[in-house]
Amino acid sequence: MRVSIRTVLLAAAASFAAGSALAQTGEVNVYSYRETKLIQPMLDAFTKDTGIKVNIISASSGLEQRIKTEGANSPADVLLTVDIGRLEEAAKSGISQPIASAELDKVVAPQYRDPEGHWYGISLRARVVYVSKERVQQTAITYEELADPKWKGKICIRSGQHMYNNALFAAVIAKHGEAKAEEWLRGLKANLAQKPSGGDRETARDVAAGKCDIGIGNTYYWALMNDKEADKKAWADATRVILPTFAGGGTHVNLSGVVLVKTAPNKANGMKLIEWLAGETAQHMYADVNYEYPLRAGIAINPTIAGYGTLKPDAMPISKIADNKKAASTLVDKVGFDN
């Protein structure tokens, strides 16, 4: 469980207090929205490969503001985050600098990086459905179909304001416009079995318990429950994953990504870390440790994730989703989605 940013930052004060002391050859300072335990194996592998020590703090919110407040004295070199919204927020807040890397440009397709280089995606996750093995017979579904009255009272989902759902709703706006998206969102709300709550794992739990037939979640949660979380294995056993698509399009995806901090005191080492994360070792680890889809071509997808079927990501540039996240949040409140 994540602790508060205040607690984490106070605990890290001993190693981060003197920013100038950290600006040394052989170190890189990472602020991360990803839990340390999820990425520590990669950072340890980076240190083993390069000899560069990684200092890291993790928090659930507020890192962009902290970097902004620290200004030129910030020890931060690299910001690691999930969700296109947070990547765009970092760029718009003025804490980033363009990343110039021919290697990254070869690995990361244009739709998964900022046109001006202020952020790059490192791995993908898809927003999918967990369906009851017993009660749902169909093997394909569209996002648009989730608003079909045939699913009335049969869908479970976490808060519509959560970043993962916000990004999906923003993608619907980008695809169909706000008016159609509002109509769709009202239809989805009408199909909910219960008030939005919990997280993605809990949607699988509620499907397994018969409270709903469909749960909306990210690809990696189901894999974690199936492979590594023995107390939740029954939830995975009762469900299966369908990769939805937009009508005439592909599956909605989001990013884990990276930002090079504008005032990075160890810029060269920050760039080494960023490029390493797009390299073969890290991309294999994103696939097999975090159950994400690697962005580097030729990296095998984890077998559990591959078992969902072939992912065909929607071709929409991720930046278009970011452009519509505020409108999506407004629509969630307008239709009373979480009420």
Write the pLDDT tens digit of every residue in 73-130: 999 999 999 999 899 999 999 999 999 999 999 999 999 999 999 999 999 999 999 9
CATH number listed for the domain at residues 5-124+255-301: 3.40.190.10
CATH number listed for the domain at residues 125-252+310-334: 3.40.190.10
- Dihedral sign for Cα 177, 183, 185, 188, please: negative
Residues 230-280 have pLDDT tens digits of 999 999 999 999 999 999 999 999 999 999 999 999 999 999 999 999 999
pLDDT higher than threshold 90 for residue 170:
yes
* Neighbour-count burial of 104, counting CB atoms closer than 10 A to its CB (0-12 exposed, 13-18 middle, 19+ buried): buried
Q: Which two tokens stand for residue 244?
A: 């939805």
* Neighbour-count burial of 150, counting CB atoms closer than 10 A to its CB (0-12 exposed, 13-18 middle, 19+ buried): exposed
* pLDDT-above-70 percentage for the chain: 93
Q: Are 252 and 141 contacting, i.e. CB atoms less than 8 angstroms apart?
A: no
- pTM: predicted TM-score of the whole model, two decimal places: 0.88
State residue 2's pLDDT score: 39
Listed by start position, the domains of the chain span: 5-124+255-301, 125-252+310-334
pLDDT higher than threshold 70 for residue 38:
yes
